[in-house]
Structure 1
Amino acid sequence: MINMSTAAANRQYFDAITDTYDSKPFFVKVNQVVTDDLRNRLDWIGIPFANTGSSSHAQSVRQLDYACGTGLMSRVFGPYVTETRGIDVSPNMVASYNARARAAGLSAFTINAVVGDLFDTQNPSPTGAEWDGFDLVTASFAFHHFEDVVHAAKSLKDRLRPGGVLMINDFLEGGDLKADEKGEPIEGTEGTWAAHHHHGHEHGKKEHGVHHHQAAQVDEPGWDRAKMAASVVVPSFTVEAVRKFFTEAGLVDVDVVMMDKRVYVEIAGQKLWRTILFARGRRPAEARSEL
């Protein structure tokens, strides 16, 4: 097997699945549930949004959608921000993201994505004033693809304005239920069942509050299991682990909450009901000079 960086593995995997990424019926449902839930949590996210109808709404709100894919987080918050910038390592995902935005009649000034990698320690990209000072940075179902979650969270925190918020969603460790052949949840099967292998990790190895598991040996049509496995570092996170890496990254006002209901997914031949967590952390406000 050829060794490659996590970024390269992610690029290869997501380039390959761009055309079918959101078309699966269960993804459509998951995306809608996430959208509805987050739009009901605007106050919890903790920044002034635009177009909310409240007296305290903001005139200008800038969002960075990192690992943007085809733009779920951009669509979630689109009505409440005035400018959105996306970054993804996958050129195909970026092309799809921008094509959707243009098809919706939105200008590149309002919303646009580029190919980049903020986590590259030698040459993070993109750079420039346009890519700093965001009110909100989001990353949806992305942190389980990142090799160093502390470095990832810190890199994203650094793109926030002081007082800005990083908000992510991902899957909760131990929050899975197995599903039967009809997709119905099997009660009493709670656990961590999203399975994969990655970079030679031993089966069940636990690091940073997350488990590594062996891949299911069934390919789902339209998905390349080997590429998917290579792109995933961890399948899920504990609440404590997320709090820890957010705090180590220098974020404050950290909170982690779970969606009330599980969501149904089919991945690598597995049928599961999974629990989604949302995490929020704030870049500290700059200290005021006493002079």
Structure 2
Amino acid sequence: MSTAAANRQYFDAITGTYDSKPFFAKVNQEVTDDLRNRLDWIGIPFANTESSSDTQSVRQLDYACGTGLMSRIFGPYVTETRGIDVSPNMVAAYNARARAVGMSESTINGVVGDLFDNENPTPTGAEWDGFDLATAGFAFHHFEDVVHAAKCLKQRLRPGGVLMITDFLEDGDLKADEQGEPIEGSEGTWASHNHDGHHGHGHGHGHGHDHEHDHEHGHGKKEHCHHHCEPAKVEDEPGWDREKMVASIVVPSFTVEGVRKFFTEAGLVDVDVVTMDKRVYMEFGGQKLWRTVLFARGRRPLEAKSEL
């Protein structure tokens, strides 16, 4: 099964409970607040910021949009949002959520598609090019080839447009005690989904990790996790399936230098990778963790001037 198909199967199955966990609302709000405080860092003119740099038209592409976290974060500062996801159920939830708050299709709308399909990337057409901002929220750890993914998203930007992603920092977890308090000195990559390398490739090749670190420690020999992991209490999670979840993940987290490398290899410039100032608290079926979120941005270069 292809990675795209595995993602489609997994996210179709969990759409109904995706936003239901109590800690999600707090994590989403913390990410929202942090990114909205970094609008200048993202590096494009936005709308409605009461700044002299405000512009009248800002177009956002939200790839692997899910139920729309990245669209909601930047919604007040853009004038048009287009979402794409491989999961029909997620796209339906994305659009239903937008319509429920009175937002029209012309303002925000999602479709089913796969920009990374080499033979038939979808969707196509003028509506799907020339974006000022492309976002991918906690999605790159689901992508088979992160360099190819970043290149494809870069191509949907206008010259000077920016790709901005969120994901998890490798070795950025802290274990928490029974009361949810962080256990100091327990740093590592702890959330476990038993990622055992069955995707048929090594993590040292193009997945945003530091290659020397990968080869030294061998990610196939460690237990990892990410924000969808539920190692226990499967019966409490309708639609959740460990095998589907594991099949959808390529790598669970990234290093700062690794993301900088694959953004640069994809042809992006003005690349910067930062982490949130504080960890976010998450629970996974009996496992309590504080996780570090990273943000990365890179710009599509301005077109070279013709020498003719």
- TM-score, normalised by the number of residues in structure 2: 0.89
- Aligned equivalents of 1:17 and 1:154: distance in 2? 29
Identity %, equivalent residues: 80
- Aligned equivalents of 2:181 and 2:99: distance in 1? 38
Unaligned runs of 5+ in 2: 225-229
Letter in 2 for 1:69: G
1:213-272 Cα distance to aligned partner (Å, 9 max, x none): 446853442132221111111110000100000000000000000001001112365321
Quick check: 92-101 or 261-270, which moved more?
261-270
Over aligned residue pairs, what C-alpha RMSD do you find?
A: 1.8
Deviation, structure 1 residue 199: 5.3
Unaligned runs of 5+ in 1: none
Aligned equivalent of 1:263 = 280
What is the SS of the residue equivalent to 2:185? coil
Letter in 1 for 2:232: V
> 4+ runs of 1 displaced by more than 6 Å?
none
Letter in 2 for 1:7: A
Quick check: 205-214 or 147-156, which moved more?
205-214
Is 1:88 paired with 2:71? Answer: no
Distance 1:5 1:268, change over 3 A: farther
- TM-score, normalised by the number of residues in structure 1: 0.94
- Aligned equivalents of 2:197 and 2:275: distance in 1? 29
- Aligned equivalents of 1:255 and 1:240: distance in 2? 10
Aligned equivalent of 2:232 = 218
Letter in 2 for 1:289: S
Aligned equivalent of 2:31 = 34
Give the length in aligned residue pairs: 287
Deviation, structure 1 residue 201: 5.9
Letter in 1 for 2:296: A
Distance 1:14 1:201, change over 3 A: closer
Letter in 1 for 2:97: R
Deviation, structure 1 residue 25: 1.1
Distance 1:205 1:279, change over 3 A: closer
Distance 1:181 1:205, change over 3 A: farther
Deviation, structure 1 residue 180: 2.1
Alignment of 1:15-26 (within 5 A): 15-26=12-23
- Aligned equivalents of 2:50 and 2:14: distance in 1? 38
- Aligned equivalents of 1:214 and 1:201: distance in 2? 15
Quick check: 183-192 or 193-202, which moved more?
193-202
